[in-house]
Amino acid sequence: MHDGRLHAVVFDMDGVLVESEHLWEENWTRYAEAHGTPWTPEDTRSVQGMSAPEWAAYLWRLTGEPEGGPEGTERSVVDGMVADFESGRVDLLPGAEQLVVSVAARVPIALASSAPRRLIDAVLNGHGLAGSFSATVSSAEVARGKPHPDVYAEAAGRLGFPGTDCAAVEDSGNGIRAAHAAGMTVVALPNPTYPPPSDALALAAGRAEDLDDVGRQLDRLLAPARDAERTV
């Protein structure tokens, strides 16, 4: 475990800052059923943490490779998610705004999300949080999605720190695995509907009950603000 003097924080978005995991499942299910294919909880577990191109390819193959290719599948599902956001269905989790603002006042923060870029931007801009983040990365912008470390490594690099200098906040098994593989100290916020498996939780340095608890754990892990500045 890290000595506690961490200098940056990288947040996941879905299930950590916003209540949206169930909406992804709804939209995957809707697309599959529109193409005559059932969508199961096992399918959800399989694709959680994947980048949009990765889950779109999975869904496209599952539904018999419909016309439009994986790109069309991705566009259809993301259109549904954006519509859900615009209709007010993608809500911030309790305490998310306060946590983001308070941590950003202390150390640089980034976002490492499996959501596509246009949804990340819509959510952060729509909820007034975009200005708090020094960097945001979609896993569609790196080679591999979670559980691979790519999106977390890229987020840390954009902040100017190695992964070992960063804390990460994650709710899913694949997300915890990804952040841990990038060398980060992970605070797990287990999703109650889609709980991470025990082997993933074992990789986390701490397990939080809610975002207030996340804040307390980060407070113990982070360097004092004056020491958190990057040295050139």
Rounded CA gap, 139 and 142, in Å? Answer: 5
Could you read off the pLDDT of 14-64 as tens digits, one per residue?
999 998 889 999 999 999 999 999 999 999 988 987 889 999 999 999 999
Rounded CA gap, 218 and 2, in Å? Answer: 12
Rounded CA gap, 110 and 169, in Å? Answer: 11
Q: Which of 72-76, 176-180, 200-204, 225-229 has the lowest mean pLDDT?
A: 225-229
As a whole number, mean pLDDT of residues 129-137 equals 98
CA angle 95, 10, 221 (to 5 degrees): 80
Helix crossing, 69-86 with 117-126: angle to 10°? 10
Per DSSP bridges, beta strands 91-92 and 18-19 are: antiparallel
What are the phi and psi torsion angles at 131 (to 5°)?
A: -70, -15
Q: Provide the whole-model pTM.
A: 0.88
Q: Which amino acid is at 76?
A: S
Residue 2 has pLDDT above 50, yes or no: no
Q: How confident is the model at residue 229 (pLDDT cuts 50, 70, 90)?
A: low
Residue 144: burial class (beta carbons within 10 Å; 0-12, 13-18, 19+) = middle
Could you read off the pLDDT of 69-107 as tens digits, one per residue?
999 999 999 999 999 988 988 889 999 999 999 999 999
